[in-house]
Structures are given as C-alpha cells and as structure tokens.
Amino acid sequence: MAGNGVNGVPSGVAGVEPPHSIAQARVDDKGRLKLPAEFLEYLKKLDVDKVFITTMDLQLARIYPISVWKSNETLFANAGDLAEQAEDVAYIAKYYGGDSEIDAQGRVLVPTELRRKLALEAQPVWLDCYHGRINVASKAVHEGRLNRALANLGDKVKTLEKKGLK
C-alpha cells in the first residue's frame, strides 16, 4: 500500500510525472472513456491497469489508481473524530463508484450511475491530474471552473507573482 509522499500524493505516484495540461476526451454511448494519450501514458508509467472510478462531490468524476484509492480507504478507516463524515463520503464513493480495467484501446468503463448523475454520457469531458488522481469534468462543470478561474485573472496573477510565481 502506498504511503504518504510529496505534497500529500501517495508515494507510489510521487515519482511519476503527471500530465500538466487539461485534455478533452469523450465518454461514448456505452459509457467508455477513451483516455487521452498523455493520461494513458501516465497510468502505464505507474504500472496501473485497474482503477477505481467514483465521485465524492457530485461534481467531478475521479479516476484513482488502486494504490491511491487504498490510501483513501485507510484514511476513511482511521478517521477518528471524523468517522461519521468519512463513513458518509465513503458511502457516496462506493455507491457511485466501480472498479474498471484499462482495455487494449486505452478506455475505462465509467459506472452507469456515476455517468448519469454527472451527465457524462455521450458527452465531451475534460481531464486533469490532481493529487494522484485524474479528475473528469462534464462540459457544464468545466465551463464553471473556467469562468471562475478567468474572473479577476490579472489580479490573481499579480498576487501570486508577489508570492514568487515566475
């Protein structure tokens, strides 16, 4: 099982460089997501052929290498005074989630309830890597995130430059 690595990323993932961009893909009418080449290559470098696909916020689908998902399960099991919250989040993750193997064409099957709830069926989606997982956003969620990021962008850049942004 992967331990904690750099910046909270499990150690089994920390040594592999994730894609730095956001990529567009599509969930076909059978619920299969064709992973963009850079995301497929990332998972291959991690020696991942099986993933857990779920949501925890009912906004983004999350594709977890099994080692990363197991670290979440450990967190849920050892949540201490947050046990009730952990149980609720784990329940949602299990309800909408499912294991999927990466097929020979680089596709994963998104669980039916998940793709219906997040409106991912037969739609374009946007993928990005974050904390060892791959986020999958519907068009509506992607546009909302993009609009939020664009709001006052100049001010955000200036503030971050003062903090060291190059």
Query: What does the pLDDT read at residue 14?
Result: 63
CA distance 77 to 85: 11
- Structural domain includes residue 88: yes
Identify the domain containing residue 135 by its residue range.
Answer: 19-139
CATH number of the CATH domain containing 61: 3.40.1550.20
- Structural domain includes residue 14: no
CA distance 109 to 95: 16
- Structural domain includes residue 146: no
Query: What does the pLDDT read at residue 16?
Result: 85
- Structural domain includes residue 131: yes
Which of 78, 65, 49 has the alpha carbon at shortest distance from 15?
A: 65
Q: pLDDT per residue over 125-136, tens digit each?
A: 999 999 999 999
Listed as ranges, residues in the chain with pLDDT below 50 are 1-8, 11-12
Q: pLDDT per residue over 71-93, tens digit each?
A: 999 999 999 999 999 999 999 99
- Structural domain includes residue 36: yes
- Structural domain includes residue 163: no
Burial of 22 (0-12, 13-18, 19+ CB in 10 A): middle
- Structural domain includes residue 123: yes
pTM of the predicted model, to two decimals?
A: 0.87
For the chain, what is the domain count? Answer: 1
- Structural domain includes residue 150: no
Query: What does the pLDDT read at residue 15?
Result: 80
Calculate the alpha carbon distances from 9 to 81, 83, 101, 124, 134 in Å: 23, 22, 22, 28, 12
